[in-house]
Amino acid sequence: MEPEERQPVRLSTARSRELGEELRRVRHRARLSSGFVAEALGWSLGKLSKLETGSRGTSAWEIGTLLGRCGADKPTRDRILSIASEADTGSFLRLHRASPDTLTALALHESAARTVTVYEPLTIPSLAQTEDYAFALTRDRDATQARMDRQDNLRRPGGPETVIYIHEAALRVVVGDQKVMRDQLLRLTLMCGWAQISPRVIPMTARSHGALRHPGALLTFQEPTKPLAYTETETATVFHDEPTAVMAYQLKMRQLERLVLTPAQSRDVFARWADAYDRERRA
């Protein structure tokens, strides 16, 4: 067996952790233990463990050997080798092949996060949507279920403290119908009393600011893991853990915090809009 070579301490990056998680998932799908795979490849168990947690690198040839030993199919091999061949610049883009909610980098980092802060300008953010609201947006049951699973993961005991900034304009845009909107606003009203998640309203009366233009999310972790920011577009999500890019998102969230209503005021706005949609539905 190959001994674990001495290497300088290397901090993982968002991309290296994503790559490691992809490799771990391939091994788990093959129902192979880490000990068995390490021995079959002539690696130390430490080498495989560090590779799967993103705290060490290796060659594309060794990754290909690992994928072959685990029986990965060609599309999986091609996708993972493409990730492995990327330059680790601190920013990377992931296409939405199925749904943004199923991206490995997103699920992995939301599960590990200490705090999550999100903002979307004209829709209720994904982490606060009801199932009916999500389906009215996506028209896709699988994508909707993936979004609900993602929310369940955040609400687990010990999950991250999550702050969700919602512009009041999003409360006025009817998604689905009045019943869908009423139920969504009731859900947000109830969420104001949840322990780990805080939805906050940016009112229509808030002054105009550049921070309101684009969606964004910021995740923080236990040290020494660096913060991670991301933005979802129509076809892809762009991730950043490069310090300068992250600082821009940190500034954005601080600026949004100056515009939002208090938790109690936000709850009143949600309840008022829920009542308005209920009256419209009954009219």
| Claim to verify: residue 72 and residue 166 sit in the same structural domain | no
pLDDT at 4 over 70: no
Write the CA distances from 264 to 55, 72, 136, 160, 194, integer angstroms.
Answer: 43, 51, 29, 21, 13
Residues 111 and 208: their CA atoms lie apart, in Å, by 34
Q: How crowded is residue 245: how many other Cβ atoms within 10 Å of its Cβ?
A: 16
pLDDT at 53 over 60: yes
Binning pLDDT at 50, 70 and 90, where does residue 42 land? very high
pLDDT for 275: 96
Binning pLDDT at 50, 70 and 90, where does residue 8 land? very low
Query: Which CATH number is 65's domain given?
Result: 1.10.260.40
Residues 151 and 237: their CA atoms lie apart, in Å, by 18
Domain limit, last residue, from 85, 107, 130: 85
| Claim to verify: residue 116 and residue 254 sit in the same structural domain | yes
- In this prediction, residues 85-109 reach a mean pLDDT of 93
pLDDT for 261: 96
| Claim to verify: residue 69 and residue 165 sit in the same structural domain | no
Residue 165's nearest CA partner among 212, 232, 113 is 212
Beta bridge partners of 40: none
| Claim to verify: residue 176 and residue 242 sit in the same structural domain | yes
In a domain, 2, yes or no: no
Residues 149 and 154: their CA atoms lie apart, in Å, by 9
The boundaries of the domain holding residue 46 are: 14-85
Residues 211 and 257: their CA atoms lie apart, in Å, by 10
Domain limit, last residue, from 70, 85, 100: 85
| Claim to verify: residue 137 and residue 210 sit in the same structural domain | yes
pLDDT at 5 over 70: no
CB 231 within 8 A of CB 237: yes
pTM, whole model, 2 decimals?
Answer: 0.90
Binning pLDDT at 50, 70 and 90, where does residue 229 land? very high
| Claim to verify: residue 25 and residue 153 sit in the same structural domain | no
In a domain, 42, yes or no: yes
In a domain, 236, yes or no: yes
DSSP state letter for 42: T
When divided into structural domains, the chain yields a total of: 2
DSSP state letter for 142: H
| Claim to verify: residue 66 and residue 131 sit in the same structural domain | no
Give the rounded distance of the alpha carbon of 17 from its chain centre.
Answer: 14
- High-pLDDT (> 70) share of the chain, %: 96
In a domain, 97, yes or no: yes
CB 241 within 8 A of CB 227: yes
Q: How crowded is residue 77: how many other Cβ atoms within 10 Å of its Cβ?
A: 16
pLDDT tens string 86-95: 999 999 999 9
Burial of 283 (0-12, 13-18, 19+ CB in 10 A): exposed
Binning pLDDT at 50, 70 and 90, where does residue 227 land? very high
| Claim to verify: residue 205 and residue 271 sit in the same structural domain | yes
Least confident of 34-43, 49-58, 72-81, 121-130: 49-58
Domain limit, last residue, from 85, 104, 125: 85
CB 68 within 8 A of CB 111: no
Binning pLDDT at 50, 70 and 90, where does residue 10 land? low
Question: Is residue 145 helix, strand or coil?
Answer: helix
| Claim to verify: residue 102 and residue 148 sit in the same structural domain | yes
| Claim to verify: residue 273 and residue 234 sit in the same structural domain | yes
| Claim to verify: residue 123 and residue 212 sit in the same structural domain | yes
pLDDT at 9 over 60: no
In a domain, 5, yes or no: no
Query: Which CATH number is 167's domain given?
Result: 3.30.870
In a domain, 197, yes or no: yes
- In this prediction, residues 250-254 reach a mean pLDDT of 97
| Claim to verify: residue 41 and residue 160 sit in the same structural domain | no
